[in-house]
Homo-oligomer: A and B are copies of this chain.
């Protein structure tokens, strides 16, 4: 019998996947589950953009150019200008979601065994993509006590060795909600220049900055060969199923390498690019409205969390996640218990256990990521469940101890 490859056997499963059967079972028992474990917003995809797809008179759904539909790439140039990013069409490669963008960039910047430094906690799938592309994540720790702020540049230096090829950030950050501003990025810019590294920034949440303006890494002067942006329309336009993202860099060799890999898959999805182009014709007030809505959700969530005994959290500045410490020893077990053995008014909430967002074993065990992608009414009910659940779980745990 043929065997699975080692890399296939050790492929890194999503850290929240193990909870899925418990959520299904809860639903089967008639319990309403509030899903705050993943970044799938409950907000409608813009009607105008959906209409563009519905009204297409396309006769043949052809391959698009491997780099993306020309008119879409041109509009992306204008979109990035809103953030004072001056890139050209040739600097933009349309991808099948941010996922493919990450994979293409890792493959083009790093060889097997090379290392990339990532502040942890980080988006769990980075670990999966690092494994799939054969590169090593070198985590640099950040801490809830200071809202997961970027470490001092001097803390990066000891991690940089001959195999280090890049620093990879998510800004605004999934899962912490932190924002790296101009000062942070300029400091990192000097560092990558000094060590000839790439500075790869996943900016898919750029539209979700609540307290300050967003500063793109592509604005750093003199770092055109070093900086690379990963992007996606999934979050800002609630279009996760479109599978449309992009890679943006003024490093021509890098775009060329990514494109050569991208030519293998021929093209990104056609309908998704149609939708993506339509989103760029929406007035900017559209995204302002969305941001206001998420801001309200953010405040609603944090207001509730801060009142719960033993919960440690801070107001996230961007994206749509809160990373909180719960008064339990193992949030994996607690999240499972919430789905398996608990309900409040016949409802419960699903959260993402924190450990999956760390490369370092033992970190994040008492933390959770909470996605505020539900309306405020649902968030209130979900927090009712969490509050009651924590109280009951502590009581039970006390009994067991």
Residues of A whose CB lies within 8 Å of any CB of B are 1-9, 11-14, 17, 38, 40-45, 50, 53-56, 58-64, 96-97, 99-100, 103, 107-112, 114, 125, 128-129, 132, 134, 165-166, 192, 196-198, 225-226, 238-243, 251, 253-254, 257-258, 260-261, 263-272, 275
How many Å from the CB of A320 to the closest CB on chain B?
Answer: 15
Which B residues touch A7, using CB under 8 A?
Answer: 107-108, 111-112
How many Å from the CB of A280 to the closest CB on chain B?
Answer: 16
Task: Let me know if B12 and A129 touch, CB within 8 A.
Answer: no
Q: Can you name 11 extra interface pairs (CB under 8 A) apart from A11-B107, A132-B261?
A: A3-B196, A4-B253, A8-B254, A54-B56, A61-B240, A61-B242, A112-B134, A240-B267, A241-B271, A271-B271, A271-B275
How many Å from the CB of A247 to the closest CB on chain B?
Answer: 12
User: Looking across the interface, which residue of chain B has its beta carbon closest to that of A114?
Assistant: B5
**Which of B45, B99, B266 is in CB contact (< 8 Å) with A264?**
B99
Task: Let me know if B44 and A59 touch, CB within 8 A.
Answer: yes
Task: Let me know if A240 and B62 touch, CB within 8 A.
Answer: yes
User: Looking across the interface, which residue of chain B has its beta carbon closest to that of A47?
Assistant: B59
User: Looking across the interface, which residue of chain B has its beta carbon closest to that of A264?
Assistant: B128
Which B residues touch A114, using CB under 8 A?
Answer: 5
**Which of B100, B110, B129 is in CB contact (< 8 Å) with A5?**
B110
Which B residues touch A43, using CB under 8 A?
Answer: 60
Chain B CB within 10 Å, residue with most, of A107, A129, A196, A261:
A261
Which B residues touch A42, using CB under 8 A?
Answer: 60
Which B residues touch A226, using CB under 8 A?
Answer: 1-2
Task: Let me know if A132 and B4 touch, CB within 8 A.
Answer: no
Task: Let me know if A260 and B2 touch, CB within 8 A.
Answer: no
Known A240-B266, A257-B9, A266-B99: A275·B61 in contact at CB below 8 Å: yes
Which B residues touch A107, using CB under 8 A?
Answer: 5, 7-8, 11, 132
Which B residues touch A62, using CB under 8 A?
Answer: 40, 240-241
**Which of B8, B197, B268 is in CB contact (< 8 Å) with A257?**
B8
Task: Let me know if B264 and A129 touch, CB within 8 A.
Answer: yes
Task: Let me know if B59 and A97 touch, CB within 8 A.
Answer: no
Which B residues touch A260, using CB under 8 A?
Answer: 8, 11-13
How many Å from the CB of A208 to the closest CB on chain B?
Answer: 17
Task: Let me know if A243 and B263 touch, CB within 8 A.
Answer: no
Which B residues touch A64, using CB under 8 A?
Answer: 241
Task: Let me know if A269 and B269 touch, CB within 8 A.
Answer: yes
Q: Once the chains are docked, how many angstroms separate the CA of A165 from the CA of B261? A: 24
How many Å from the CB of A174 to the closest CB on chain B?
Answer: 13
Known A59-B45, A112-B112, A134-B134: A243·B268 in contact at CB below 8 Å: yes
What are some 21 contacts across the A-B interface (CB < 8 A)?
A: A1-B225, A2-B192, A2-B196, A2-B198, A4-B253, A6-B111, A7-B108, A8-B108, A8-B261, A13-B263, A40-B62, A45-B59, A60-B238, A96-B265, A97-B266, A103-B265, A128-B261, A132-B264, A241-B269, A243-B270, A269-B271
Task: Let me know if A241 and B267 touch, CB within 8 A.
Answer: yes
Q: Once the chains are docked, how many angstroms separate the CA of A85 from the CA of B285? A: 53
Which 4 pairs, one residue from A and one from B, show the smallest C-beta to C-beta distance? A241-B270, A8-B257, A8-B108, A271-B271
Which B residues touch A5, using CB under 8 A?
Answer: 107-111, 114, 165, 257
How many Å from the CB of A46 to the closest CB on chain B?
Answer: 10
Q: Once the chains are docked, how many angstroms separate the CA of A55 from the CA of B50? A: 11
